[in-house]
Amino acid sequence: MGVRLAIGASPGSLVGLIVRQSIAPVAVGLGAGLLLIVWGRGLAEAQFVGVTTTDPAMLAAAAAAVVIAALLAAWLPARRATRINPTDVLRAE
Kindly give the confidence (pLDDT) of every residue in the chain, 93 residues in length, as a single tens digit, with 9 standing for 90 and above.
777 777 887 888 888 888 999 999 999 999 999 898 888 888 877 887 777 777 788 889 999 999 999 999 999 988 888 887 777 767 776
Domain that includes residue 6, residue range: 2-87
Whether the Cβ atoms of residue 10 and residue 61 lie closer than 8 Å to each other: no
How many domains does the chain contain in total?
1
Whether the Cβ atoms of residue 14 and residue 5 lie closer than 8 Å to each other: yes
In a domain, 56, yes or no: yes
Task: Report in angstroms the alpha-carbon separations of 88 from 44, 62, 84.
Answer: 54, 41, 8
- Give phi and psi for 91, each to the nearest 5: -70, -35
In a domain, 93, yes or no: no
In a domain, 92, yes or no: no
In a domain, 43, yes or no: yes
Distance, CA of 55 to CA of 45 (rounded, Å): 12
User: Considering the entire predicted model, what is its pTM?
Assistant: 0.74
